[in-house]
Amino acid sequence: MRKHKIIRVKQWLVAASLAMSFPALAFSQFTSVKTDDLNLLYYDFGHEYLINHTIRSYTNSLRFHENLFDYKLSEPVTLIMQDFGDFGNAGASSVPNNVILMGIAPFHYAYETNPANERINVLMNHELVHIVALDKPSSSDRFYRSLFLGKVDPAQSDPVSVLYGYLTTPRRYSPRWYHEGIAEFLTTWMSGGIGRVMGAYDEMMFRTMVRDNAHIYDAVGLESEGTTIDFQVGAHSYMYGTRFMSYLSLHYGPESIIEWTSRTSQSKRHFARQFRNVYGISLNEGWRNWIEWEKEWQQANLDRIRQNPVTPTRPLSRSPLGAVSRAIYDEENDRIFAAIAAPGRIAHIAVIDPGDLSMRRLVDIKGPALYFVSSLAYDPDTSTLFYTNDNNGWRDLYAVDVNSGRSTLLIENARTGDLAFNRNDRSLWGVRHFNGIVSLVRIPYPYTDWNRVYSMPYGEDVFDIDISPDGRLLSAAVADVSGSQKLVLLKTEDLLNGDYAPEAMVDFAESSPAGFTFSVDGDYLFGSTYYSGVSNIVRYEVESENIRWLTNVETGLFKPIPVWADSLIAFEYTGTGFIPVKIANEPVNSVSAIRFLGQEIVENHPIVTDWMLDPPSPEIIDVDTLIRERSDYSSFRNLSVSSMYPIVQGYKDYVAVGMRLDLSDPLRLHKFSISASYSPHTNVPGSERLHASLNYTMPSWRFFANYNGADFYDLFGPTKTSRKGYSGGVGYNANLIYNLPRVMDFNVTAAYYGGMERLPEFQNILTSFDSFLSLSSRLSYQSRQFSLGAVDHEKGILWELMGHGNYVSGRLFPRFNQNLDYGFALPLRHSSFWFRSSTGISISPRREPLGNFYFGGFGNNWIDYLPSRRYRTFISFPGVRLNEIGGTNYGKLMTEWVLPPVRFKRAGFVNYYANWAQLNLFSSGLVTNMDHQETRQLFYNAGAQLDIRMVIFSILESTFSVGYASAWNHDTGKRSDEFMVSLRLLR
Amino acid sequence: MVLQYAMVQYMDSKIIKLIHDEIDGVNTPRESRELHEILNSDEDARTLYHDLLRISDDLKQLKSEIKLPAPVLGNVKEAIENRTAIRNKKPNNIHPLITRVIMPKSNILSGKTAAVAAVAAAVVLLVILFTYDLPQPQQDEVAGTIGIEGIERAERYRSAQISSSDIILENEHFQQILQSDDFQRLVRSGELQELAANPSFVNLMRDPSVLELMRNEHLATLMRDPAMLELMRSEHLATLMRDPAMLEFMRFTSADPSLAELMYSNNSAQLMENTQFTSLMREPSFLVMMREPSLVEMLRNPSYLELMRNETFLALARDATFISMFRSESNIELLHRADVVELQRNESLPEFMREASFLELAANPAFSELMRNSTFVEMMRMPYSVELFRDAAFVSLMREPTFLVMMREPSFVEVMRQPFLVELMRNPNFLMLMRHESLLQLMRESSFLQLMREQTFVSLMREPSFLQMMREQTFVSLMRHSSFVNLMREPSFLQLMHSSSFIELMRQDQVHALMAN
């Protein structure tokens, strides 16, 4: 889950993050604190200090939303408090249950893209907008919810459930910009003006687009291309959504936004139709109007800036770098270090020569952060560059020898960033986030452990630190719960004695003192501020405490590096990323302020000031009277029916109809589903007409049973998974390594099959026995990476070791295989080349079907739910029929060229559109029965597959695939062809 | 006024908007018609409409009187309607039905009078400022501001914000412990995870009394100390802390900074590793004893914590008599006596207390009696005295009533200061002698005491045979004669006394009689 700001995570994302985050906690004790409206779950004693404040913030915010939206909570919200990442975030879902996943860590404040005021209050304000916007039902929604016993979460295995999902929670099927737009809009006013509507970064982004005459996406293009094309990726949903809502609010009044987003019995089910209902024009027309207005608005701001001389800048790079970290200048070798991340390039630390503007890659960054990529610090005496990996999770501290490029892990899960190096004693300083508290830490040589220097009270954050060249002073930006931010200077000696006593404090009012860095002589600090609404570079003289502006620019300058006495390096914002520029170290006399859209709204619609929330103080909300229960959480005890609905399935070539029942606990750690259907067609033997399946999953374990198993996808195409007979089994899964992108899994499944006529895995192979015991296991390791905006992995390794054994009548038929994939990125953007190999051996007689491997075909069904690129699996061999090639041992090698995807600016409508298309070319060779001349087979093939990602109902992604391959039998020279068409539903 | 406010509060926002727009002249003909229909049927709406109309007329009247330039008037009007209200706004409750703040008519600050007064006040203020050139603060004198001439600050609405006093957290100070590097090392070691996964520990940490204890600022400060964290590493702590007496004890110790520092030192952590000690800590009587002022005083000497690791001490500490010793008022008084206080500061005392025999003695009421004897206390302060307590025979001697009596003799005290006596006391035979009444008698003789200072006599006293002789009443009687003592000062006589035949001789009654004469 990539996070930047307060992100509304889609339903499946919440579920996925719960599933991925909780394996280690699966059997840990969650504690539940319940009020009438809330079920707060937490797992760590260290988070208890926030419980009451969270309940107060939640209740305070809920009361507001109940009034504003005339909303009545349909069920208590399950709020999970966690500290899985170093930066604050949250996600909300309302299907099948109302759930908020809240990270308690402090926000990052890069470029003021996050508010600095008290975060739990902000998160509750924001996430509850999502809950209301998703959960609030009309009378017809309520009817369908009672009909289907709940809010239906579409299941891949039964895609008819999409329709039921739309009937029960229609507003869930709205684009992300819609949900984030209303949430950001309201959060700003609930926080008394702190938020994206008043955001300087957002103004900068649109101002720059207008200045550069760049394309401003429409509502379709935003989701299909806009959220992938530049370094800001998904953040565009927030910025476009909030801006559009703000525009509507300014022109039609803030209440119109509420009317549009609030689901009532009089409202239209679909968000776009409700837009027309409220505003009298189509969404597309409304959006066009906004873009026209935005151009005028930003032109006026540009004119204001140009009232004074605009500071000239000289680029130091041939093209924008994308997102950049704090940069460091190595004076001795005249080079700049910066961590950069941009679409099409794996995030890395670059060494930039400011003379000839050349760049070289030093080391890759694992887990780059969206806006600041990584934290850097440099020891010039040893040419050691310190940096952080896993910047969205628990950060690891690394060092790289700049000369040799050798990288070393210093402290795993250091949870520390904002690094600064003290050359005086070779110590490294940083800011650590843990349990929602910010601590200044010192990491002495040899950097294998850290010492806490000072822990701030909750809600006070320190960031962007630097240390003076003499090691005496530490500069930092400090934010408090009111959102006020100051630049402070502290004596390192005092800090080491446990005294937090700022020597100087400079209040930057509503704006943040960003990226302040000491000059080489330590006399000045250079940084940036949005004081005038535009981020300009300022110079602070330590001795006199005077501040002077050095620039007046049109877009924004950040992260200055005082390199020379008369000039600096800074990073200038452009639509495609930040570009290093050289500017003069000369004060300017005049800088004009720009106008903020949010300010225009306040002045024209003061009602938004009434939306400011009272503080969630104990005087207003008495937690003791709210809390009903404190207990341990049990997933099993909290299992309840989430939905029940009719289904249609395929059994062999016939239709079956039936019902499906789903149960789950609010955390979705335990899920139980049961399906039963009946095939009325007379061609189906009476004993095979009833079909049933049962699945129970819990962390690490899975239990299943089938009786004449039927499958929806068997209604379409050649691949069949329905089977006569019965089976029951259990599976176990363990995460041995989970440190993205490094993942190692082990799983094992044991099952008993009875009454079978065909092998469970190979539909075209008849069994020689009708009952057998099957045991399969898989150990896999992968470390695969992709760059921003990628649609597939672009480099890395995947290794799998698999074992499968069938036990029949006292005899075991085991077979083993291993797969190894290796790929690397090509210079073409988002293009890569892969080698995929597989070998296997079976210790069974050749004549026994249970002991053989079988290969053939693409493997995709016409309508499918399994991965689209199935030709990559070891049992596929496009060009020949399914299971056509068999053998007790084999070797297979595939080469694959993944071509750059084509993104669509607009291909479709608001509800149905295509995202991208990507062509993959492949060729492979397969040899079976290598040890037996008579039965040995050797095949080659070559083929291509084109995948087109489509979006239905705004959020349901599907993939349409077309493939063609030819295969040759080396021995006979016979050629066969295969054409494949497939639509993969729900991704 | 109240009624009017309530009326507005519950009036449909649409009606209010129609009224405002009507007065502002921006209603469409259809909206005007709609409003007048409402006014005909709704008395509250009618009242509000007329009130606002009157205010509007007043404002128009005011406008005509002041005759401000049109652009200025426009700006002022805009500011009155919007910005002033916005910037000064305090956090609000949600009143979704109210779209404007409506000033009640009866407010004395409303209308023409207020406006004229405000303008007049502003003019007066400006005149004063410009006429008298009062010193104004310079920009760079205002600490913490960054406004600079020529640099425009962007207008960004921001209402009064939440403050730290609005955020009440539970036991936030505990975070200071959790954030420390030492504590995190514990976490990384895995031990803490186990503890955190231990429901009993977690429940313990949730215990109100424990939480209350954790609120102790001093304890929280202490818990940042590596030693305290080391202490927390102990698996026994969780068990112990569930004992109310232990909690009470911790509360007691943490209230006193110096004592707390002492109690939660490295020593304590090591003590926690001692199962005997932790077992002892579970005994309420022990914890009660530990809170006795007398013991607390003693504990201020770090050496005593060392003592607590002593197995004998641990065994003895379970003894009710021993414990009661620290509770007796007289003992407490004793511990406050100057020489005893001095003794407590003496490094040798903890050494004593490590001696099994001493501790055994300490539990004996007679020992308390001894401790009241300043001679004994003085003796204990002597560097060599510890060695005596390692001598079983001496310890046995100390239990003898005669010894106690002897300890009261000033003369004995005098002798005790002599190093040779210690040497003598290591001699079992001399110790035997000390049990004897005869020595006591001799000690009361100044002449004997003088004799004991003679090196030659000391040498003689090392002779077993002589010591044996000194136990004989006849010889003791003899020694009480000054003439005999004088005789013994003669080197030649002493030489004679070294011989075994002399001792044999002395045993003869006739010789006694002779010597007595």
Using one digit for the tens of pLDDT, what is the confidence trace for A204-260?
A: 999 999 999 999 998 888 877 777 676 666 688 899 999 999 999 999 999 999 999
- Among A642-646, A734-738, B53-57, B431-435, the range with the most confident prediction by mean pLDDT is A642-646
Last residue of a domain, one of B106, B131, B156: B131
* Mean pLDDT within B28-36: 78
d(CA A192, CA B160): 7
The better pLDDT of the pair B243, A122 is held by A122
Other residues' Cβ atoms within 10 Å of the Cβ of residue A632: 10
The residues near A865 (Cβ < 8 Å, ≥ 6 apart) are: A156, A157, A159, A713, A984, A985, A986
Q: What is the pLDDT of residue B130?
A: 38
Give the mean model confidence (pLDDT) for residues B224-238. 60
- pLDDT tens digit sequence for B102-122: 333 333 334 444 444 544 554
Q: Which of A531, A544, A605 best tests the B interface by mutation, with the highest count of B CBs <10 A?
A: A531
- Which residues on B lie below 8 Å from A28 (Cβ)? 197
Give chain A positions within 8 Å (CB) of B185: 449
Pure H helices in A347-419: none
Residue type, A295: K
The answer to whether the beta carbons of residues B168 and A623 sit under 8 Å apart is no
pLDDT at residue B211 greater than cutoff 80: no
Contact B154/A591, CB-based, under 8 Å?
Answer: no
Q: Is residue B437 part of a domain?
A: yes
pLDDT of A332 strictly over 70: yes
d(CA A493, CA A474): 10
In a domain, B55, yes or no: yes
Segment A365-390 shows an average pLDDT of 95
Q: Copy the structure tokens of residue B93.
A: 């409750």
Over residues A138-165, the pLDDT tens digits come to 999 999 999 999 999 999 899 999 999 9
The closest alpha carbon to A190, from A107, A241, A117, belongs to A117
The number of residues making up chain A comes to 987
Q: Which residue range(s) make up the domain with B447?
A: 410-517
Strand A314-315 and strand A577-584: the pairing is antiparallel
Q: Specify the pLDDT at position B348.
A: 59
Assess contact for A93 and A179: CB atoms under 8 A.
no
Check if A146 contacts B (Cβ < 8 Å).
no
Strand bridging mode A671-678 / A654-664: antiparallel
The band of A346, judged by pLDDT with boundaries at 50, 70 and 90, is confident
Structure tokens at B94: 């949600």
Instruction: Collect all residues of chain A within an 8 Å Cβ-Cβ radius of residue B150.
Output: 589-591
- Number of A to B CB contacts under 8 A, please give it: 202
Place of tokens 């035997």: B432
As a dihedral over the C-alpha atoms of residue A790, residue A791, residue A795, residue A798, rounded to 10 degrees, the angle is 150
**Most confident of the ranges A223-237, A275-289, B279-293, B371-385:** A275-289
- Burial environment of residue A499 by CB neighbours within 10 A (0 to 12, 13 to 18, 19 or more): exposed
Write out the two tokens for A6: 């307060």
B142 touches chain A (CB under 8 A): no
Distance of CA B176 to the CA centre of its chain: 17
Q: Testing the interface with A: which of B26, B142, B155 to mutate, by most A Cβ within 10 A?
A: B155
Any domain includes B506: yes
Please check whether residue A266 touches B, CB under 8 A: no
With beta carbons less than 8 A apart as the criterion, state whether A498 and B118 touch.
Answer: no
Give yes or no for a cis peptide into A446 (omega within 30° of 0). Answer: yes
Q: Do B170 and A589 touch (CB under 8 A)?
A: no
Q: Which of B8, B94, B203 to mutate to test the interface with A (most CBs of A within 10 A)?
A: B94
The mean-pLDDT minimum among A403-417, A628-642, B293-307, B446-460 falls in: B293-307
* Interchain CB contact of A412 with B (< 8 Å): no
Sorting pLDDT into bands at 50, 70 and 90, what band is A337?
Answer: very high
- pLDDT band per the 50, 70, 90 thresholds, residue A890: very high
Does the residue B325 lie in any domain? Answer: no
What pLDDT score was predicted for residue B515? Answer: 59
Choose one of B131, B157, B175: the last residue of a domain. B131
The edge-to-edge listing of strands for the beta sheet with A90-93 is A90-93, A99-103, A77-82, A38-42, A30-34, A629-633
Token digits of residue A844: 């069974």
A611 Cβ under 8 Å from any chain B Cβ: yes
Residue whose token pair is 């690791």: B309
CA-CA distance, A417 to A433, in Å (whole number)? 9
Domain-terminating residue out of B82, B106, B131: B131
CA distances from B98 to A188, B17, B24 (A): 20, 10, 18
Contact A591 B82 (CB under 8 A): no
Residue B126 covered by a domain = yes
Q: Looking at chain B, which residue has its C-alpha nearest residue A545?
A: B140
Do residues A578 and A561 lie in contact, with contact meaning Cβ atoms separated by under 8 Å?
no
> What pLDDT score was predicted for residue A64?
96
Res. A662: pLDDT tops 90: yes
Cβ separation of B178 and A434 shorter than 8 Å? yes
Q: Which amino acid is at A250?
A: L
Scanning A7-36 for CB atoms below 8 A from B yields 28-29
As a 3-state breakdown, chain A gives helix, strand, coil percent values, each rounded to 5, of: 20, 40, 40
Pick the most confident of A51-60, A768-777, B345-354: A51-60
Q: What is the DSSP letter of B99?
A: -
* Cβ count near A24 (within 10 Å): 11
Residues of chain B with Cβ-Cβ distance to A65 below 8 Å are: none
Q: Is the dihedral of CA B135, B141, B147, B148 positive or negative?
A: positive
Cα–Cα distance measured from residue A987 to residue A188, given in angstroms and rounded to the nearest whole number? 34
Hey, what domains does chain A have and what are their CATH numbers? 1-120 (no CATH), 314-591 (2.120.10.30), 723-906+926-936 (no CATH)
Distance from CA of B89 to the nearest CA of A (A): 8
Token look-up 């291993």 returns A818
Contact assessment for residue A95 and residue A11, using Cβ atoms and an 8 Å cutoff: yes
Percentage of chain B exceeding pLDDT 90: 1
Q: Which residues, numbered 195 to 224 in chain B, qualify as contacts with chain A under a Cβ-Cβ cut-off of 8 Å?
A: 196-197, 199, 202, 205-206
User: What is chain B's length?
Assistant: 517
Whether omega before A137 lies within 30 degrees of 0, making that bond cis, reads: no
Pairing relationship of beta strands A77-82 and A38-42 according to DSSP bridges: parallel
Half-sphere exposure of B68 (CA within 13 A, CB side): 15
Nearest CB neighbour to A532, from listed B100, B152, B157: B152
A92 confidence band (pLDDT: 50, 70, 90): very high
- Structurally, chain B folds into a number of domains equal to 2
User: Inter-chain contact A613–B91, Cβ cutoff 8 Å?
Assistant: yes
CA distances from A572 to A377, A559, B31, B474 (A): 21, 9, 52, 115
Cβ count within 10 A of residue B126 = 10
Quote the pLDDT of residue B102.
31
Residues on chain A touching B144 (C-beta within 8 angstroms): 486, 505-507
B179 in contact with A, Cβ within 8 Å? yes
Q: Does A587 contact B at CB distance below 8 Å?
A: no
Answer yes or no: is B297 within a domain: no
Domain annotation covers residue B209: no
- The pTM assigned to this predicted structure is 0.73
Q: Are A964 and A980 in contact (CB under 8 A)?
A: yes
Of B99, B146, B170, the CB nearest to A506: B146
Domain assignment present for residue B47? The answer is yes
| C-alpha–C-alpha distance, residues A120 and A102, integer Å | 8
What pLDDT score was predicted for residue B112?
44
Q: What are the phi and psi torsion angles at A461 (to 5°)?
A: -115, 145
Could you report the per-residue pLDDT of A532-583, keeping only the tens digit for each? 999 999 999 999 888 999 999 999 999 999 988 899 999 999 988 899 999 9
> In whole numbers, what is the pLDDT of chain A averaged over residues?
91
Amino acid (1-letter code) at residue A185: F
Q: Do A615 and B91 touch (CB under 8 A)?
A: yes
Question: Cis (ω within 30 of 0) for the bond into A741?
Answer: yes
Q: Which two tokens stand for residue A344?
A: 């099409």
Classify the complex by whether its ipTM is higher than 0.90, answering yes or no.
no
Q: Is the pLDDT of residue A494 over 80?
A: yes
